[in-house]
Chains A and B, each alone.
Chain A
Amino acid sequence: MKLESKVPSGPLEQKWSKYKNDLKPVNPANKRKFKILVVGTGLAGGAAAASLAELGYRVEAFTYHDSPRRAHSIAAQGGINAAKNYPNDGDSVWRLFHDTIKGGDFRSREGNVYRLAEVSNNIIDQATAAGVPFAREYGGVLSNRSFGGALVSRTFYARGQTGQQLLLGVYSSLSRQIGIGAVIMHNRKEMMDVVTVEGRAVGIVVRDLQTGKIESHYGDAVILATGGYGNTYFLSTNAQHCNVTAAYRAYKKGAAFANPCFTQIHPTCIPASGEHQSKLTLMSESLRNDGRIWVPKAVGDKRKPVQIPEDERDYYLERMYPSFGNLSPRDISSRAAKRACDEGRGVNATGQAVYLDFSDAINRLGQNVIEDRYGNLFEMYERITGVDPYHNPMMIYPAVHYTMGGLWVDYNLMSNIEGLFVLGEANFSDHGANRLGASALMQGLADGYFVIPYTINSYFGKGKPAEVNTNHEEFVKTENDAKEKISKLMSINGKQTPMQLHRKLGKIMWEHVGMARNKAGLEKSIGMIQELRNEFWSDLKLVGNDSYMNPVIEKASRVADFMEFAELIATDALERDESCGAHFREEHQTAEGEAERNDADYSYVAAWEFKGVGEKPEMHKEDLNYEFVQLGVRSYK
């Protein structure tokens, strides 16, 4: 397997312009002849489908939701970064780039990240023009706030619903294209597999979730924008239906999967309340602008938070990281919370929570200002926990949130399978080992709006690929595989539901492949996952049949892939014998418990090649060469 990053040579600032100048565009009259399949209609997929259709390509988009407006991009609360420097506080493309590289603990590609920072400004312009109601100042200009991992205010937001507003902006652009027939939209169709012929992606096989029918679609190019795999952990901030199937199936067809162990744990989530928990709800990181995080100084202090005097509270983030304080990056904040709880200073009945306290901010600014800034988040908190956060500190705990790893892509966002592009969270390219807050929206939209419309030419510029009929044996074979998978799942007739088995998998993952990992635990987890997988295939219970809407079958089909994919995460985590970003190996920490990175041996992207279920995949390295930034210790002290 050859992994060429294809980052253009030359100075960092000129790479993207040079690339655009050099590309060979498709003749506008010929664009009609190219058919592009876009799988997933979140920020990245929706934006790609809309912008490619505007350019004149024939686009067909697929989502398992009932509408392209439902993708989980919608749940992003806090905001979107851009290097506009409207507040005049010294921001620049370089600074955004550098913060992102540093935030990713120097495990991402310079060229990709710089391009991301460069197009970030266009995103704000585009979204505003599309009618996204970003927050504004009284003078009518856009408002900014600060976010974790940055010392400038570069985050644009729309109340606590930025992801929703940006996704609806994309959705409205996409709707326009659907309305004029430029995009054919397939709702409620879940991708089951990608079809490759001679190493080239030629289409996909999907399952109609309303009829259970398996169908094939040909495309000159296939774009996967299918999100992350956080739900491998069962409990995460992801939506219930988020899954790894599309990406994992591509991996099984030969696409390399990069850095799967980079899974971000978000520090500010509402703690789990019991066994019944089906998901964890994130409270936006923006809350840390005004909230102060603390635990009692004494172990086992069970007093109510208001009864604990100021000098018996440990504002541990402010104490340990004075310059970033409560706005320290996610991985650092999460681990600090875990440490405090492991020491026995955690709060809540479970001891698995820390306080996020707004009383200082309310005293300083008044409740109405806080209400204005975070009203909907406070409401949400109260609804879920039954506790009023204006008068009691919130309780938070880290939860699986975002996955930096994903299918390997080059500078063109094309995987190692020709014609298979991967966008947004589904690829691995921009966030390294840790993603900064408000950067996911930025990346998804950058990929969809401003990168893929150009980089698709790298593939189409060579001429129209030979069309493959959906009667082709590869299509037929892939369809049969998909049908077989479903009928196999239905024939087991065991005792456990897909949710039960998924929950078991999540426990293994959280315990051994979670916030802190070690060799013994990881090795153990691989065995456990394999065992559980056998249990899955011998004891699964489904009911009904597959000729109508049957969510249990959908769930089982997704869990089946998690059962295999989990092993890949653990394998990668075991292989990466260093601590970096979200990947924390207990063997590699300083005396103070900070991550110890090993640039000499691990400054590479681990891209895994599938070798068979239960077989150890083969790792390919893409070395990360830093020409423009100095690799430093990532300090937020």
Chain B
Amino acid sequence: MKLQLNIWRQENKDSKGAIKNYKLNEVDEDMSFLEMMDILNEDLIHKGEEPVVFEHDCREGICGTCGMVVDGRPHGKEHGTTVCQLHMRKFNDGDKITIEPFRAKGFPIIRDLAVDRSAYDRIMQAGGFISQNIGSAQDANALPISKNVADLAMDAASCIGCGACAAACPNGSAMLFVSAKASQLNLLPQGQPEKAARARAMVRQMESEGFGGCSNYYECEASCPKNVSVNFIAKLNRDYLCATFKEGT
């Protein structure tokens, strides 16, 4: 199939970016979206032009490295799918596709479609852990955890940290990410001792990274490649509310 690509090109964080147009004439429907991008880049290199910088790694939808906004949707229109798992059979011959980087104040652009998501790391460093040194664990079965709780924690834990939630949010809010990471641990009995501190610390860090607040648009949930539910945001709100009434934790 033939495609017209409108791709955001930007040299660095401070430069002004713009959309540039490219044409591809031989796109196979079995290609993944990123393989289509590979072909474009190979073309560009042959022509001596700078290839489009985009991030990617595992190409099987789990590492969370890839991420671009395709026709206004982070990771593209297909529900519950990372852009590396989006396949060209979902597009039609002659389509015009607009590709932009993730946009949020918390994600400064590095180059073209690559953005800096290290803010997510710092949110995790603030409280996304259980403070327990390696070697001091009790037997894994000594602490029974109901299947429902374990499954719910797993739902939260399936977040891949790609940043689509903040990119999709009109407020550039990272609440879905923060809530998924906090809820996984706050749901499990192992995470109870630090529950209040974790909720507070992670939200505070999110705020200081420049992310916006949640206005309950639920656009994050719609864009999440792992279908993480906004119910976790409600849970984080609750944990945070409880935390504000608990002193010294």
Q: Mark the stretch among B113-121, B210-218, B236-244 that contacts chain A.
A: B113-121
* Contact B85 A380, beta carbon cutoff 8 Å: yes
* Contact A72 B58, beta carbon cutoff 8 Å: yes
* Contact A129 B132, beta carbon cutoff 8 Å: yes
Does A394 have its Cβ within 8 Å of any Cβ on chain B?
no
Interface string of B44-62 (1 = CB under 8 A from A): 1110111101011111111
CA distance A63 to B19 in the complex (A): 31
CA distance A70 to B118 in the complex (A): 12
Taking A72-B63, A239-B58 as contacts, is the C-beta distance between A548 and B111 under 8 angstroms? yes
Taking A70-B65, A548-B111 as contacts, is the C-beta distance between A141 and B144 under 8 angstroms? yes
Query: Which residues of B lie under 8 Å from residue A521 when comparing CB positions?
Result: none
Residue of A nearest to B201 (CB): A179
Taking A175-B129, A179-B126, A278-B59 as contacts, is the C-beta distance between A67 and B35 under 8 angstroms? no
* Contact A74 B62, beta carbon cutoff 8 Å: yes
Q: Mark the stretch among A161-169, A256-264, A507-515, A580-588 that contacts chain B.
A: A161-169
Residue of A nearest to B50 (CB): A544
Cβ contact of A129, chosen from B41, B49, B130, cutoff 8 A: B130
Cβ contact of B60, chosen from A137, A187, A380, cutoff 8 A: A380
- Shortest beta-carbon distance from A182 to chain B in Å: 11
Does A215 have its Cβ within 8 Å of any Cβ on chain B?
no
* Contact A176 B154, beta carbon cutoff 8 Å: no
* Contact B117 A66, beta carbon cutoff 8 Å: yes
CA distance A570 to B101 in the complex (A): 42
* Contact A129 B124, beta carbon cutoff 8 Å: no
- Shortest beta-carbon distance from B88 to chain A in Å: 10
* Contact B188 A74, beta carbon cutoff 8 Å: no
Taking A158-B154, A276-B35, A549-B110 as contacts, is the C-beta distance between A84 and B121 under 8 angstroms? no
Q: Which of A54, A129, A138, A450 has the most CB of B within 10 A?
A: A129
* Contact A128 B161, beta carbon cutoff 8 Å: no
CA distance A86 to B184 in the complex (A): 25
- Shortest beta-carbon distance from A633 to chain B in Å: 36
* Contact B81 A383, beta carbon cutoff 8 Å: yes
Query: Which residues of B lie under 8 Å from residue A345 when comparing CB positions?
Result: none
* Contact A136 B129, beta carbon cutoff 8 Å: no
Does A10 have its Cβ within 8 Å of any Cβ on chain B?
no
CA distance A550 to B160 in the complex (A): 25
Does A551 have its Cβ within 8 Å of any Cβ on chain B?
yes
Query: Which residues of B lie under 8 Å from residue A140 when comparing CB positions?
Result: 144-147
Does B203 have its Cβ within 8 Å of any Cβ on chain A?
no
CA distance A416 to B123 in the complex (A): 40
* Contact A131 B190, beta carbon cutoff 8 Å: yes
Taking A126-B134, A133-B184, A274-B28 as contacts, is the C-beta distance between A552 and B51 under 8 angstroms? yes
CA distance A541 to B131 in the complex (A): 49
Query: Which residues of B lie under 8 Å from residue A499 when comparing CB positions?
Result: 38, 42
Query: Which residues of A lie under 8 Å from residue B61 when comparing CB positions?
Result: 380, 383
* Contact B129 A550, beta carbon cutoff 8 Å: no
CA distance A173 to B136 in the complex (A): 13
CA distance A178 to B127 in the complex (A): 11
CA distance A499 to B42 in the complex (A): 8
CA distance A159 to B155 in the complex (A): 10
Does A603 have its Cβ within 8 Å of any Cβ on chain B?
no
Cβ contact of B42, chosen from A50, A158, A497, cutoff 8 A: A497
Does A600 have its Cβ within 8 Å of any Cβ on chain B?
no
CA distance A72 to B56 in the complex (A): 12
Residue of B nearest to A171 (CB): B124
* Contact A75 B116, beta carbon cutoff 8 Å: no
Cβ contact of B51, chosen from A133, A173, A543, cutoff 8 A: A543
Query: Which residues of B lie under 8 Å from residue A495 when comparing CB positions?
Result: 46
Cβ contact of A497, chosen from B46, B56, B89, B188, cutoff 8 A: B46
Does A491 have its Cβ within 8 Å of any Cβ on chain B?
no
The count of residues in chain A whose C-beta lies closer than 8 Å to any C-beta of chain B is 85
Query: Which residues of B lie under 8 Å from residue A84 when comparing CB positions?
Result: 140-141
Query: Which residues of A lie under 8 Å from residue B41 when comparing CB positions?
Result: 552
Residue of B nearest to A163 (CB): B62
CA distance A360 to B187 in the complex (A): 37
* Contact A175 B124, beta carbon cutoff 8 Å: yes
Does B153 have its Cβ within 8 Å of any Cβ on chain A?
yes
- Shortest beta-carbon distance from B245 to chain A in Å: 24
CA distance A496 to B176 in the complex (A): 43
- Shortest beta-carbon distance from A589 to chain B in Å: 33
* Contact A176 B125, beta carbon cutoff 8 Å: yes
Does B74 have its Cβ within 8 Å of any Cβ on chain A?
no
- Shortest beta-carbon distance from A500 to chain B in Å: 7
Cβ contact of B31, chosen from A127, A276, A449, cutoff 8 A: A276
CA distance A290 to B153 in the complex (A): 26
Does A302 have its Cβ within 8 Å of any Cβ on chain B?
no
* Contact A274 B59, beta carbon cutoff 8 Å: no
* Contact A126 B131, beta carbon cutoff 8 Å: no
CA distance A274 to B28 in the complex (A): 9
CA distance A241 to B57 in the complex (A): 6
* Contact A384 B87, beta carbon cutoff 8 Å: yes
* Contact B35 A173, beta carbon cutoff 8 Å: no
Interface string of B131-162 (1 = CB under 8 A from A): 11111111111011111001101100110110
Known: A131-B185, A131-B188. 18 other contacts (CB 8 A): A66-B117, A72-B58, A75-B63, A125-B140, A126-B135, A140-B145, A158-B157, A161-B158, A164-B160, A178-B121, A276-B28, A276-B38, A383-B85, A383-B87, A384-B87, A386-B89, A543-B51, A549-B114
28 pairs, A vs B, C-beta closer than 8 Å = A66-B118, A67-B117, A70-B65, A71-B63, A74-B64, A86-B141, A122-B135, A129-B132, A130-B130, A131-B129, A131-B188, A136-B150, A140-B147, A142-B140, A161-B158, A168-B157, A172-B128, A175-B124, A176-B129, A187-B118, A240-B59, A276-B31, A276-B39, A281-B60, A380-B61, A386-B87, A542-B45, A548-B11
Interface residues of A (CB under 8 A from B): 47, 50-51, 54, 65-72, 74-75, 84, 86, 122, 124-142, 158-159, 161, 163-165, 168, 171-173, 175-176, 178-179, 185, 187, 210, 239-241, 273-274, 276-279, 281-282, 379-380, 383-384, 386, 449-450, 453, 495, 497, 499-500, 541-544, 548-552
3 smallest beta-carbon distances between A and B, as pairs: A140-B144, A179-B125, A129-B137
